[in-house]
Amino acid sequence: MKIKMTSFSTLNLTKKNSFIFILIFTAVTVIDSTIVEFSSYSGARIPIWLNVAIFVIFSILFLTSSPILLNFVRRIVSRDPYQAIPLGFRYFHTIISATLILTGSLLLIIIFQMLVLNKYSLNLLEAQTYISYISALVFLSFLIFLFAGWLTSKRNYIIMLYTVAFSLISVNLVISLIYIEFYFSFSVLRDVKPYPITSYVVNLPGSPITESLSVVFDILALSSFLLMWIATGILLSQYRHKMGRIRFFSLMSIPLIYYIFPFQNYFGDVFFLLLSSSPVIFSVIYVLIFSATKQVGALLFSLSFWTTSSLVHHDRVYKSLLISSIGMVILFCSTEIAPLRSHVYPPYGLITEVFIPLGAYLLLVGIFTSAQQISQDTRLRREFYKSAESQLSLLKDIGVSQMEKEFEAKIKSLQQRSILSERKNEPHLEEQHVKEILRDVLNELYYSKK
């Protein structure tokens, strides 16, 4: 037992490990969000025991991966796994720890109810929905606040794209919560029993309000996807010289076309004839082909952080970028509400939902740690100024913006101390302290111009 605990605590975050996490999360969310649709269209009746087994396996993956990722974050922000988490991150770490503990408890209770009582309470599913969405909104709100602050310090279109995209995702989470809550309120029975999945989907209620919210959800999801796709394309633009323009734009366009294509239903279904002639076969093929539109886009968006980590030789920034890439995948893979509204047995879509706050937290900590470290490391900023890699432009801009904010905070602090010293008739601040701040500012201006 001691050997396992030691190996767990010493597990190091690398590109290989992060890529494994990304693939696991992608696979879990694809299956978890597709199996309800597949069963309802195909009419296939998967045995109840197999459905429960799949849900239990997915729950175990969540319960084991979450502590590992939190351990990675602790080692990044504190630089030592045995040190206390710095005050700036302690509040966020407390929130995510409490969220994961509550989530783990609710998952175990739901599993216990299914295995022992042959049912589960819809109240638990509803409570978990509020926990996941509200905690994710807290982390995304602070992330948007950071990007907005960097945008005011440095007018940059990439920072602006990320700011607007994350803002749209936050609004989308609010719409999703309202949308799912309507379906929870429609259900008269508060205990979900093991009926075939098709029976839940066929009897799924609806209303004009839910249809309107569904349209708003699609518009916000598409808008945030397009903005993130543009920002990712700009950051990865250096590869058009290595790969060739035609190959680069072809590879970049595939996720966009793949994501947009299902929205053709709003403009007239081009497959209407095939759907009317053989609805079952066509529906099954359609679901299987277009079941991973969000996940493919999430993989593309994470590449901007995952590949950038290879260009950075600073260990803390390197690992922060890997954490950001994992958070980006989790966040965009988890914005799926279709299976959860059906509240089938077992609750497919729940595992996708419980990952949302973890993804938002990893993205917040990863990006902020990178910016903070770059703002404090003059040598690292010099390397970024000398490099022509487009992937480093976002890091350079948020790092410099964070440095400017920290300089402003120092100057305000000096002014306040100076006023207090004048009131108390104490000597003025040390001249050396002021010279150090001015020297840092002049060096930064020198290398930015150079």
Return the percentage of the chain with pLDDT > 70, whole number. Answer: 76
Asked which of 215-219, 259-263, 398-402, 443-447 is least confident by mean pLDDT, the reply is: 443-447
Q: What is the pLDDT of residue 417?
A: 61
Judged against a pLDDT cut of 60, whether residue 81 lies above it is answered with no
pLDDT at 436 over 60: no
pLDDT of residue 109 exceeding 60, the answer is yes
Q: In the chain, what is the straight-line distance between the N-terminal and C-terminal CA atoms, in Å?
A: 56
pLDDT at 185 over 50: yes
More confident residue, 197 or 372: 372
What is the three-state SS of 185-212? HHCCCCEECCCCHHHHHHCCCCCHHHHH
- Containing 121, the helix (H) or strand (E) segment is strand 120-121
Peptide bond into 81 cis (omega under 30): no
| Mean pLDDT across 339-355 | 88
Q: Give 346's DSSP letter.
A: S
Check residue 23 and report its DSSP letter. H
Q: What are the backbone angles phi and psi of residue 426, rounded to the nearest 5°?
A: -95, 160
pLDDT for residue 76 = 86
pLDDT digits (tens, 9 = 90+) for 368-383: 998 888 887 777 777 7
pLDDT of 1: 38
Number of H helices, E strands in the chain: 20, 2
Judge whether 358 and 335 are in contact, CB under 8 Å. Answer: no
Indicate the pTM of the whole model: 0.86
Burial 5-36 (b: 16+ CB within 10 A, else e): eeeeeeeebeeeebeebbeebbebbbbbbbbb
Higher per-residue pLDDT: 133 or 437: 133
Which pLDDT score, from 0 to 100, does residue 4 have?
45
Mean pLDDT, the chain, integer: 81
Most distant pair of Cα atoms in the chain: their distance:
91
Least confident of 99-108, 270-279, 291-300, 379-388: 270-279
Q: Inform me whether the pLDDT recorded for 302 exceeds 50.
A: yes
Predicted confidence at residue 3, as pLDDT, reads 40
* Cβ density class 113-134: b for 16+ within 10 Å, e for less: bbeeeeebbbebbbebbebbbe
The contacts of residue 195 (CB under 8 Å, 6+ apart) are 345
Instruction: Give the integer Cα–Cα distance in Å for 117 and 429.
Output: 71
Kindly report which listed range (24-33, 41-50, 97-106, 312-321) carries the lowest average pLDDT score: 41-50
> Would the pLDDT of 96 be above 60?
yes
